[in-house]
Amino acid sequence: MNRLPFDKPGRFWKGNLHTHSTRSDGHLGPAETVAWYRDNGYDFVALTDHCIARFGHPITDTTAFRDNGFTTLIGAEMHAPRTAVGNLWHLVAAGLPLDFARSAPGETASQLAARAAAAGAFVIVAHPSYYGLTVADVETIGAAHAMEIYNGASDLAYEMGDSGHILDVLISRGRRIDACATDDAHFEYADYPDHGLGWVQVRAERNDPHELVAALRAGHFYASEGPELVDVSIDDDEVRVASSPVVKVIVSGGGERYECRYGLGLTETRVPLETFHNSAHEVDPRLGAYLRITIVDAQGKRAWTNPIWLG
């Protein structure tokens, strides 16, 4: 419970962790890509071009685009062979050093993720649903800090942006992994925007790359595609959720353990935990070891906490 970000020092900073430019398969140059986020209310962005031979293994230096009110994280989308369905792995790393060694022949996804994490990066398993990842696939990436519970581009193009089910199976099996939302923006179509769809709100004292990455690695953030989580607190009896106006608040704990509250313009919601202490069904007792909260606004947009571990 002490990983909840809402009472941590500082404030929330809005950022996108998965973005592409003309350094790989994006359609705007790095400066234009970063400028869109700066000019549209974001506090930071990670430019994460595909770091593969086809594009010359880019890790783009975006430090020149930082100013007093906006910053960038050095990042890349890294690849290694092979997932269960035969695809290349897609691992997003935010907070890489510019001299990070590119993947070597024969390096596994697990080894690549571990190297990136050891170098100080926040490591994300990208678009699990879109890429057909199995739970066993994700379990092999022991160094991953998070997976994308929502990928905007996958949702927009293929209706495969939501990976909440994979997250629940993983954490029900004891894997401690967080959940982020991203754009995976390529800026390909002006009238079909794949940007501004999903982001993280990171709790830190300063909008500083090192502090942001440290907060991400500590789990001091929540994910959103619209609604704002103002506060979440929990004790033995209930969960209390303060938010922007929403129509649904869901507290889930694996399997059939969940409670929902519905209403118009909910901003202060209390959900008792009796269901999670006294399930009417026989379930694996590990399923009671965590909770996570999802809120949904009138437009169907959601925000998600990270798993809140109770043990």
**What residues form DSSP beta bridges with 179?**
147
**Domains of the chain by start residue, with CATH:** 11-224 (3.20.20.140), 229-309 (2.60.40)
DSSP 19-40: B--TTTT-SS-HHHHHHHHHHT
Condensed to tens digits (0 to 9), the pLDDT of residues 202-227 reads 999 999 999 999 999 999 999 999 99
pTM for the model stands at: 0.95
In order along the chain (311 residues), what is the average pLDDT of each group of 10 residues?
Answer: 85 98 97 98 98 94 96 96 82 97 88 97 95 91 97 92 94 92 93 94 98 98 98 91 98 85 97 72 57 96 93 63
Among residues 115, 195, 201, the alpha carbon closest in space to that of 151 is found at: 195
Q: How many CB atoms lie within 10 A of CB 84?
A: 12
Q: What does the pLDDT read at residue 81?
A: 85
Q: What does the pLDDT read at residue 23?
A: 97
Q: Give the dihedral sign, CA 175/198/33/211.
A: negative
Among residues 13, 219, 222, 213, the alpha carbon closest in space to that of 116 is found at: 213
- Say how far apart CA 273 and CA 251 lie, in whole Å: 9
